[in-house]
Amino acid sequence: MTSPLRRPLIAGNWKMNLTLAQSAELARAVAAGAAAASGEVAVCVPFTAIPVVAEVLRGSPVRLGGQDCYWEAQGAYTGEISAGMLKDAGCRMAILGHSERRKLFGETDEHVNRKLAAVLKAGLTPIVCVGETLDERETQKTWRVLETQAAGALKGFAPADLAPVVLAYEPVWAIGTGKTATPAQAQEAHLFLRAQLKKLYGEALAAGTRILYGGSVTADNVDVLMAQPDVDGALVGGASLKKDAFLRIMGFQAA
């Protein structure tokens, strides 16, 4: 079970799914179930759904997040959304560096680093994603990838700056594939990331930083994943779109 220093966080990533009506319906169910949750709950929704979901969640403990943002505050950046715009629309969190952004849209560690600066400046909680591909795992590059991505994303900040940051370990080979890292694999990766935080920024930050697991989290496997001492929550993709499954994940029962 996670340390009492770190409140568990279950964050749903809706990706590019749901109409406005469907978004409002699912948000109402999540808000209604929040009282029975085993920790903090957030939903990260498409940009178009943010105002609708913000209104539904008003007065509930469920935190609202965006799935990405741009690092500039404003300007001629067609199609982009700033951290300030997310906050103005009702968001309190933002996912940064998701593997789909890296793979499909060419995001680099430098991009994630610049976005992190913007999100922290806006006063949002960043969920910074790191993780290896199947090829990288099979060629024994997992630790190098995690070390490089974590250091690159967090580069240039003081420990105090990074206090709000949430990390998410998402093995790319387990996202949307139905494959899940074993509890031992998840714990090993989370422990490695915590050791990297300690090396770069000291014991206090390492001990207090929440590290989520993301990669085909389901109602069936969440309990055993959350029983690992360095797994502090979950970044949930497909299962977050299914009301009953997500409510069960929210109410995980770690052994």
Q: How far apart are CA 202 and CA 195, in angstroms?
A: 9
Specify whether the CB–CB gap between 14 and 241 falls below 8 A. Answer: yes
Which helix or strand (DSSP H or E) is residue 121 part of?
helix 109-122
Catalytic residue among 100, 107, 136, 170, which?
170
3-class DSSP string for 158-194: CCCCCCCCEEEECCHHHCCCCCCCCHHHHHHHHHHHH
Q: Which of 98, 117, 100 is nearest to 169 (CA)?
A: 98
Q: Which residues on neighbouring strands pair with residue 43, listed in sequence order?
A: 12, 64
Which of helix, strand or coil describes residue 200?
helix
Do the beta carbons of residue 215 and residue 183 sit within 8 Å?
no
d(CA 83, CA 63): 15
| Annotated active-site residue in 40, 98, 136, 190 | 98
- Are 170 and 233 in contact by the 8 Å Cβ rule? The answer is no
Measured CA to CA, the distance from residue 32 to residue 246 in angstroms comes to: 12
Mark whether 98 is an active-site residue: yes
Please list the active-site residues: 98, 170
